[in-house]
Structure 1
Amino acid sequence: MTPAPYRFQQLSREDFESLAAGHPGVVIPLEQTPYWADFETRLGRDPYGIWAYYDGGKLVATASYLRSRRRLRPSLVVVNGPTWFTERTPEAEARLVATVQEQFRADPAVDPLYVRMQVEHVQPPVAGPLEHGWYEREIVVDLTPDTDKIFAAFRPNARNLIRKAEKLGVEVRAVEREQWADVFRTELFPIMQETAARDGFSSFDSAFYETLLTELGDHLRLMVAYVDGKPVSWLITTEYRGYAVYYFAASSRDARKTNAPYLLLWEAFKILKDAGNTACGLTGIESENYPSLANVTTFKRNFSKTVVTVPTTYDIPLHPLRYRALATALRVRRDAPGLLRRAAARIRRPDAKAGRD
């Protein structure tokens, strides 16, 4: 039996701000706000709007959708959402899934193959995902105790490295906002390039970060660690409604020699606390679908024992037959190289045995 759908309503910026103000205790991810949608627009992407979902007159959830037009798989993506304003039960989530299916199947302006969002209670028709889109576990630092207690809660290794960084002359500065884009482009992006090359990942180009800093400046901080006047490590944090996130960071080889990232993050915690934030999420750590985060996990675990599980991102197919066909094709393409290697190895083994005979 299909669950009864919720009533849904698209929100203007004013509607969203009024709704958020009426629920001060709910953590709303910055990615689920009109301000993040403005940032996506500046990047040339296509936000499709924010909707609220109601059970009668009771607000259940909100979701901000981003339109994706990837070849063969047009979709709507909810980045780090939806935001729940009531208990996230299996029944409530099933109703939201059914509502989203009905909503966008009937929307003449879009024809998505699927809608992608975080789902905690996985049940049909939820599927996939075709690829994972958000981390599943993160470390969270409680900023409500006084600073001495926050520091004392760090692992001994982190406390020692922070003290060593101070003795080695590492200096942490907050960059003036009007200088963010220029400083990032000329001094900090090369550090990101070095970090990406060293750790084996692809970073965004400098324009992405410059746009982030320009468009979301009211919700960001840019802090830099210097050694002998030279920048060696930097971080960008976000802040919204008292919740901060350690969002982007990079460090050079010189930073590692001086333990600068440890002191930089500690100084950031103090500034974020003074600004009224009650917690700071350190973003993703290693999980089943993200084993590549093992290195950053070691660093982040130094600052808190609190590990929060984030609902995994899944797909809600709107055209199930087409979705299954695409999923099969992608799986075959992904598995083909390994199958070919194993087949080649089986072919070579008899030849090797014949040579020994």
Structure 2
Amino acid sequence: MSAAHLTHSVLDRAGFEAIAAAHPEVVIPIEQTPDWVEFEQALGRTALGIWAYADTGGSVVATASFIQVTRRLRDSVVVVNGPVWFGDRTPAAERALMETVRRQFREDPSVDPLYVRMQVATPQPPATGPIEHGWYEREIVVDLTMSEAALLKSFRPNARNSIRRAQRDGVEVRHIPREEWISVFTSELFPIMRETAERDGFQSFDSSYYETLLTVLGDRLRMLVAYRDGQPLSWLITTEYRGYSVYYFAGSTQEARRVFAPYLLLWETFRVLRSAGNTACGLTGIVSENYPGLANVTTFKRNFSRNVVVVPTTYDIPLDGARYTAVASLLQARRAGTVLTTSARRRASSVVDRLRRGRGSKGGA
């Protein structure tokens, strides 16, 4: 039996801020705010707005900011680090939201996604997959409400020792003024990001992405850099929204590791964030079943807090079940290097042709 649908309406900034103000206890990820919508638009991406979902009594249950993502074979609509729940997140409420979102985008003539992707706490139909995972599932969160002395004492001994060693080795941390962000990032920090990505085996964004972030979201960011003998060793960018901060981007050289600069940098960052009124700092993703590659950063982050927060896993909500299954099977075979049979190749070609002709009719099981 289908879950009851919710009513949905698009929000302007004033409408979103009114809902947020009425729920001061709710942690709203910055990716689910109007500020982030402006950032996505500045990158040239298609933002489909922030939508509110209300129950039959008119109470807002959740909000979700949608971004349209175009990729070969799988145009999608993605909720980044959301939705945000203002009502009780029960399995029934989640199903009602998913059913409403599926109907919403099936009926929208302006888009034709293969699926909508969002975080789901209780996996159930219509959620499935996902074709690929889209957000971390566990993170370390540092409590900033305690005194500085208590905060430092809460770290593992390795972190406290590393902070002291960095101080003895002459590492100093600078809070970069906003007017210098772009010049410092392009000349000093982006080369460190490239080094970090090559060393740790991931692909960073190009410099323009970070420059856009710094320009558009400047009111929500801080940039701190660790130097030794005038040379930048390690850097980070934090976000802040409603008293909740996030250790968002960072890079470090091999020399930074040798002199323990990242430890002192993060400690000084906590001090700055705490003084600015933030009550917590999320350190972003750590290792989980679907993200084994985060094991290395997990070791570092665990030094600062034992508070592990579980983040709901991202799932796909197909708008056309048959087409979604066909595309998912094709992509799975490609990733596994499977040699497809002639009939399988024909079916795959049929799917591709259908997508190229306009992705078929909406609907489907």
Short-chain TM bin: over 0.9
Q: Residues 227 and 337 (structure 1 numbering): CA distance in 2 closer, same or farther, change over 3 Å?
A: farther
Match of 2:288? 287
Aligned partner letter, 2:292: P
Match of 2:278? 277
Match of 2:301? 300
Match of 2:194? 193
Gaps of 5+ in 1: 340-357
Q: How does 1:152-171 map to 2 (within 5 A)?
A: 152-171=153-172
Match of 1:33? 33
Match of 1:136? 137
Aligned partner letter, 1:202: Q
Residue 95 of structure 2 is aligned to residue 97 of structure 1: no
Return the offset for 1:338: 9.7
Q: Provide the rounded CA distance (Å) in 1 between the counterparts of 2:77 and 2:336.
A: 26
Q: Provide the rounded CA distance (Å) in 2 between the counterparts of 1:97 and 1:118.
A: 10
| Cα RMSD, aligned residues only | 1.1
Match of 2:227? 226
Tell me if structure 1 keeps the 8 A contact 2:95–2:126: no
Aligned partner letter, 1:157: N
When structure 1 is superposed on structure 2, of 329-338 and 109-118 the one drifting more is 329-338
Q: How does 1:58-77 map to 2 (within 5 A)?
A: 58-77=59-78
Q: Residues 338 and 267 (structure 1 numbering): CA distance in 2 closer, same or farther, change over 3 Å?
A: farther
Tell me if structure 1 keeps the 8 A contact 2:67–2:77: yes
Match of 1:126? 127
Name segments (4+ residues, structure 1) moved above 6 Å: none
SS of the residue 1:81 aligns to: coil
Match of 1:6? 6
Residue 18 of structure 2 is aligned to residue 18 of structure 1: yes
Q: Provide the rounded CA distance (Å) in 1 between the counterparts of 2:195 and 2:63.
A: 39
Q: Provide the rounded CA distance (Å) in 1 between the counterparts of 2:230 and 2:189.
A: 13
Match of 1:249? 250
Q: Provide the rounded CA distance (Å) in 2 between the counterparts of 1:321 and 1:182.
A: 50
Match of 1:106? 107
Q: Provide the rounded CA distance (Å) in 2 between the counterparts of 1:194 and 1:68.
A: 28
SS of the residue 1:95 aligns to: helix
SS of the residue 2:26 aligns to: coil
Match of 2:52? 52
SS of the residue 1:299 aligns to: helix
When structure 1 is superposed on structure 2, of 68-77 and 314-323 the one drifting more is 68-77
Q: Provide the rounded CA distance (Å) in 2 between the counterparts of 1:295 and 1:338.
A: 34
Q: How does 1:74-89 map to 2 (within 5 A)?
A: 74-89=75-90
Return the offset for 1:336: 2.2
Tell me if structure 1 keeps the 8 A contact 2:137–2:285: yes
Q: How does 1:165-184 map to 2 (within 5 A)?
A: 165-184=166-185
Q: Provide the rounded CA distance (Å) in 1 between the counterparts of 2:53 and 2:327.
A: 30
Return the offset for 1:337: 5.5
Q: Provide the rounded CA distance (Å) in 1 between the counterparts of 2:338 and 2:284.
A: 32
Match of 1:42? 42
Aligned partner letter, 2:63: T
Return the offset for 1:72: 1.7
Tell me if structure 1 keeps the 8 A contact 2:63–2:84: yes
Q: Residues 141 and 338 (structure 1 numbering): CA distance in 2 closer, same or farther, change over 3 Å?
A: farther
Match of 2:356? none
Percent sequence identity is: 65
Q: Provide the rounded CA distance (Å) in 2 between the counterparts of 1:273 and 1:13.
A: 27
Q: Provide the rounded CA distance (Å) in 1 between the counterparts of 2:316 and 2:18.
A: 30
SS of the residue 2:284 aligns to: strand
Aligned length: 339
Q: Provide the rounded CA distance (Å) in 1 between the counterparts of 2:36 and 2:26.
A: 18
> How high is the TM-score relative to the length of structure 2?
0.92
Q: Provide the rounded CA distance (Å) in 1 between the counterparts of 2:58 and 2:335.
A: 46
SS of the residue 1:124 aligns to: coil
Q: Provide the rounded CA distance (Å) in 1 between the counterparts of 2:115 and 2:163.
A: 47
Match of 1:349? none
> How high is the TM-score relative to the length of structure 1?
0.94
Return the offset for 1:69: 1.6
Return the offset for 1:257: 1.4
Q: Provide the rounded CA distance (Å) in 1 between the counterparts of 2:234 and 2:336.
A: 39
Over residues 290-312 of structure 1, what are the superposed CA-to-partner deviations in whole Å (9 max), with x where a residue is unaligned? 10001000000000000000000
Q: Provide the rounded CA distance (Å) in 2 between the counterparts of 1:331 and 1:108.
A: 29
Q: Provide the rounded CA distance (Å) in 2 between the counterparts of 1:299 and 1:113.
A: 38
